[in-house]
């Protein structure tokens, strides 16, 4: 028996597709079978059957995929620990906190439309991505799978997970925390139940929106990096005069925030707050951010005695880099934040929210004050435009070559990020879609226009244009 995946589903960081069109139960079964095979052949488990934790988000199709995935894992020879409907970081926690768990698979469509779903994977404590995912496809096509009979047990970890989140407030004066008033928007995503339990135990006053899990997302799309999705949270913060508000994506691994004045605190700005707090306790620490982050962040890290590192976009790539350079903190513009000082190094938006409370308390300033003290950079949102799959990487190579032949200052860690007297501009190829991503930042509007003109010039030289923005 063998299986052929739709080629569009095997992505760089995860497996993702449209239910009933490019993704279904047979794919889930083959993923389980292949993952079990790799654990048995290449894992470090000796003398016992490997165990894989499995969770799923609130999408309508998730239980069906979970059933098929578990069939694949058990028939491949793995034991399965079911944690049920859960946020992705709960699955990561189930994998990281138990010695006898060797891998984890979360069924989730993250922030994608309701008819999408997918799989995020961890293999013996490390991200499972890139070549790992391609190998699942190769094993399936060849039918080259191990066989066995694994057992399944179900565990409820939400209580111990929430207890672990609360440790982020250890040592902080309860009196300071009890004065906080916070708004929360779960966006009908999988973080809702854990958020309800968490806020019952947190000091302070808490106002919650949309904690009921509903895979149709009836109130707004669960992507907190899109400002339009923060309208309800902003209204709640204004109506109740709250200190700040926090929002989550569909599977709870990305955070969005607004301050008490309704201003968005973007991913790189959140990282500025976390870094300032962390560097007060861990001087000289390395802090990683992706190439889309503001210059203000890298300057802020350096000003507070840290070592800023610019790295490639993608949660799997960032996690791997953190391990390589022993970084205790990293983040992306997209709202993935990774703490490895007192936590496990995975992206957990609920934990990041508690750490925002902790940082504000330790720094002695409100989130609004911290946001207000940041330099007002003028920047574009992330601009995404369609480019044929066969052209996207080639175009970036052409642009990089032209920039290298000029006297411009460029960083080619991930695409091309060019720094000029006006600020910086970025062009990079998406690893997951047939799009190029552009961004620019300046101190002045005139400078920003010149940077955008440079982007357009480079695209034109490669026979491309920015055109209209496309979604994720």
Active site residues: 110
How far is Cα 51 from Cα 293, in angstroms, rounded to an integer? 38
How far is Cα 359 from Cα 362, in angstroms, rounded to an integer? 5
The residue among 408, 417, 384 whose CA lies nearest residue 312 is: 417
The helix (H) or strand (E) run that includes residue 147 is none
Q: How far is CA 410 from the centre of its chain?
A: 26
How many other β-carbons are positioned within 10 Å of the β-carbon of residue 442? 23
Q: Exposed, middle or buried, 429 (CB in 10 Å: 0-12/13-18/19+)? A: buried
Which pair of structure tokens corresponds to residue 361?
């308390």
**Phi/psi at 429 (5° precision):** -90, 135
Q: How far is CA 213 from the centre of its chain?
A: 20
Q: Give yes or no for a contact between 133 and 10, defined as CB atoms under 8 angstroms apart.
A: yes
Q: Give yes or no for a contact between 270 and 307, defined as CB atoms under 8 angstroms apart.
A: no
Q: Give yes or no for a contact between 195 and 211, defined as CB atoms under 8 angstroms apart.
A: yes
Q: How far is CA 156 from the centre of its chain?
A: 24
Q: Report the DSSP pairing between strands 181-185 and 244-248.
A: parallel
Q: Give yes or no for a contact between 108 and 250, defined as CB atoms under 8 angstroms apart.
A: yes
Helices (H) and strands (E) in the chain, counts: 15, 22
The helix (H) or strand (E) run that includes residue 344 is none
**Which runs of E-coded beta strand occur in 61-113?**
79-85, 103-107
Count Cα atoms within 13 angstroms, Cβ side, for 434.
7
Which pair of structure tokens corresponds to residue 192?
């809702």
The helix (H) or strand (E) run that includes residue 200 is helix 192-201
Count Cα atoms within 13 angstroms, Cβ side, for 42.
11
How far is Cα 206 from Cα 4, in angstroms, rounded to an integer? 48
The residue among 353, 336, 257, 433 whose CA lies nearest residue 92 is: 336
Q: Is 52 helix (H, G, I), strand (E, B) or coil?
A: strand
Which pair of structure tokens corresponds to residue 86?
């859960």
């Amino acid at each position: 028996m063998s299986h052929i995946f739709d080629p569009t589903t095997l992505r760089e960081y995860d497996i993702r597709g449209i239910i009933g069109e490019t993704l279904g139960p047979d794919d889930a079964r083959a993923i389980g079978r292949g993952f079990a095979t790799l654990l048995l052949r290449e894992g470090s488990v000796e003398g016992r059957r490997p165990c894989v934790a499995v969770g799923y988000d609130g999408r309508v199709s998730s239980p069906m995929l979970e059933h098929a995935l578990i069939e694949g894992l058990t028939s491949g020879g793995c034991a399965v620990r079911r944690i049920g409907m859960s946020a992705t970081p709960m699955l990561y926690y189930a994998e990281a906190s138990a010695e006898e768990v060797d891998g984890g698979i979360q069924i989730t469509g993250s922030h994608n439309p309701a008819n999408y779903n997918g799989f995020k994977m961890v293999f013996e404590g490390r991200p499972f991505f890139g070549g790992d995912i391609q190998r699942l496809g190769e094993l399936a096509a060849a039918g080259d799978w191990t066989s066995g009979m694994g057992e399944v047990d179900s565990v409820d970890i939400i209580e111990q997970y929430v207890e672990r989140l609360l440790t982020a407030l250890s040592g902080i004066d309860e009196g300071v925390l009890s004065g906080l008033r916070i708004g929360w928007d779960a966006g009908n995503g999988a973080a809702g139940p854990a958020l309800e339990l968490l806020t019952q135990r947190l000091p302070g006053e808490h106002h919650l929106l949309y904690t009921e899990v509903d895979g149709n997302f009836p109130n707004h799309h669960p992507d907190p990096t899109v400002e339009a999705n923060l309208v309800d949270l902003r209204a709640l913060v204004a109506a109740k005069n709250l200190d700040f508000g926090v929002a989550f994506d569909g599977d709870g691994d990305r955070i969005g925030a607004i301050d008490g004045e309704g201003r968005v605190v973007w991913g790189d700005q959140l990282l500025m707050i976390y870094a300032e707090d962390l560097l007060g306790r861990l001087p000289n620490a390395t802090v990683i951010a992706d190439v889309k982050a503001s210059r203000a962040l890298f300057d802020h890290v350096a000003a507070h005695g840290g070592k800023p590192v610019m790295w490639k976009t993608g949660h799997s790539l960032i996690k791997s880099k953190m391990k390589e350079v022993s970084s205790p903190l990293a983040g992306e513009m997209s709202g993935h934040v990774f703490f490895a000082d007192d936590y496990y190094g995975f992206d957990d938006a609920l934990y990041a929210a508690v750490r925002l409370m902790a940082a504000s308390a330790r720094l002695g300033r409100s989130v609004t004050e911290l946001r207000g003290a940041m330099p007002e950079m003028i920047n574009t949102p992330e601009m995404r435009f369609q480019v044929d799959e066969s052209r996207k990487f080639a175009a970036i190579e052409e642009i990089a070559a032209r920039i290298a032949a000029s006297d411009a200052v460029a960083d080619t860690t991930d695409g091309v990020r060019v720094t000029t007297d006006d600020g910086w501009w970025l062009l990079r190829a998406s690893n997951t879609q047939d799009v190029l991503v552009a961004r620019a930042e300046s101190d002045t509007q005139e400078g920003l226009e010149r940077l955008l003109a440079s982007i357009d010039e480079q695209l034109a030289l490669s026979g491309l244009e920015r055109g209209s923005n496309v979604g994720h």
